[in-house]
A and B are shown apart, each in its own frame.
Chain A
């Protein structure tokens, strides 16, 4: 009988958060509800709840999580000060002369912006507003353009300094610097695969992504000036921020704070550091901090009661008992996370699901850093998958009415295929009996 508490609470919580009530409080309320029922049935000791203030205090003084608001601040300043827009326009001008060039520009800017913002919404919205009209005007096929934009917008989930990786590092007890280092290779592989696909397709089917006509290009000194002004500064900032982490000079938290100040300096040099920009960055940073940390507080209450009811043992038994050992575990976990990723946000998955799979993964001998990368890539793919992918949703919001939503769905299919192939390759690397995953650092 006692074995039923874990599943009852887990599925009960899942049901309640689907009501649409804010997840943080639905989880906290579920925790209290099951604590009371468990206590009445003699399975739960209410004294355990007195651990909650200490846990809350642990979240307050959590040095790793402090990096999250810093990187959000940095990304919002870069976005609101129009640095991102200028970057897109410049790269478009640089590559536009080639077939498929605008699409390549979107991919590279997606990867770069990703490194700067790490928030799906920001880069997809920016690229949808700026690049999509240019692509359509120049005869790019709508579904192809939409697919490139929504896929490139998700690269921020995997390319460091991604907020996804910071939170995963915290929840899995893995060094964020290690995760950043390990994520660089898959991030570049994905970016490269997208680019290869675009080049290949525009070579085979000339009408999909034509080159810009002569009069739409910019030339010589003017182009050079634009590259120097808009491309080099943000690139420099990203290299310094990531470089200082990889070189071990700065912790991710320190690099985030310096990156935020660096972004303000760049915006000021560009004469774009207005009160409006600052206010927007401060507002966005506080909102996301409130949202993420309160979700963590609610999840902590949930986890405390769940463990008190031996729910963690139920999960560990179920996952270590999966046929096929480590590979079976990886397939089950990835399938569950992929499906959940359709409906619920990354942060819920990181705070509710991830802590539960750490112990079974260790028992099965799976490297946690590699597991973290695989999970991040998996979530990134689910952001891209119809009908609920977040990236598609944001892009729909800035796409002209006359273009049907199905065009977006058709456009992302090739990119989902690329994602699944690369994800499969890295799941293979996560398997303990295969040689260690190659790393760039």
Chain B
């Protein structure tokens, strides 16, 4: 377990860094979006082509980066919405059981499925160096590859969650809050 805990801490740290970075993408996306809006308007009235398909592509590339790369960060920090009518009334142990079962039965198989079916599509896109069909648009193959990166990060984070949930379940008695949100393990004395 100590080795797995250390891996889990590493994955958590990696996704936290990514989470901190994608925040800035949100700001950049807003600025690019506003530029596109103004540029389209000015282009229409001045005839000077300020806007381009590259910038239009760029705004949804940032959008995609946020949720594809951020999904794992979201899993770690419980961003993904739950129907918690029952869940919030359960003990810590019961929640850990649900999370463990859900991760193993739903999240991991689904993420692996997404990797499995996306791989051929991304490989094709790379082999032909796929570019946007619009004139002046950006290359498509890198952003498609981010689908794979996102789900690999999600698989890693899911495994890290499994380690933490097993820790909660092994910690013993219900209501034992020695392990809080599972975010800060590695600092324990076990290593």
Contact = CB atoms under 8 A, between A and B. Distances in A.
Given A32-B110, A258-B38, A290-B74, A348 B63 contact: no
Contacts of B66: 69, 286, 289-290
Interface in B9-42: 19, 22-27, 29-34, 36-38, 40-41
A31 B27 CA distance: 34
Interface in A49-63: 49-50, 52-54, 56-57, 60-63
A21 B30 contact: no
Contact of B118 (A53, A249, A388): A53
The range of chain A's interface size is: 35 or more
A77 B105 CA distance: 39
A20 B63 CA distance: 27
A358 interface: no
Given A28-B106, A29-B105, A50-B120, A261 B64 contact: no
Which of B37, B59, B118 has the most chain A CB atoms inside 10 A of its CB? B37
A310 interface: no
B110 A257 contact: no
B63 A69 contact: yes
A294 B74 contact: yes
A373 interface: no
Nearest to B24: A282
Contacts, number: 187
B84 A20 contact: yes
A178 interface: no
A256 B36 CA distance: 12
B30 A60 contact: no
Contact of A290 (B37, B71, B99): B71
Which of the listed residues A25, A66, A301, A344 has the most CB atoms from chain B within 10 Å of its own CB? A25
A287 B81 contact: no
Contacts of A289: 26, 63, 66-67, 70
A261 B31 contact: yes
B51 to A, nearest CB: 11
A345 interface: yes
Contacts of B30: 69-70, 73, 257, 260-261, 285
Interface residues of B, number: 62
The interface residues of chain A, by DSSP majority, are classed as helix
B164 interface: no
A334 interface: no
A53 B23 contact: no
A23 interface: yes
Interface string B69-90: 0110111000111111111101
13 contacts: A19-B98, A20-B88, A21-B106, A22-B80, A22-B82, A25-B110, A29-B110, A32-B113, A73-B26, A257-B33, A286-B22, A294-B74, A295-B80
Given A20-B85, A20-B86, A69-B30, 20 more contacts: A18-B83, A18-B85, A19-B102, A20-B87, A20-B88, A21-B99, A22-B82, A29-B102, A32-B113, A53-B118, A53-B121, A254-B37, A256-B33, A257-B32, A260-B30, A286-B23, A286-B70, A290-B67, A291-B74, A294-B74
Interface of A: 16-26, 28-32, 49-50, 52-54, 56-57, 60-63, 66, 69-70, 73, 249-250, 253-258, 260-261, 278-279, 281-283, 285-287, 289-291, 293-295, 298, 301, 343-345, 347-348, 388
Top-10 shortest CB links A-B: A20-B87, A29-B106, A257-B33, A21-B102, A28-B110, A254-B37, A22-B80, A60-B64, A282-B23, A293-B67
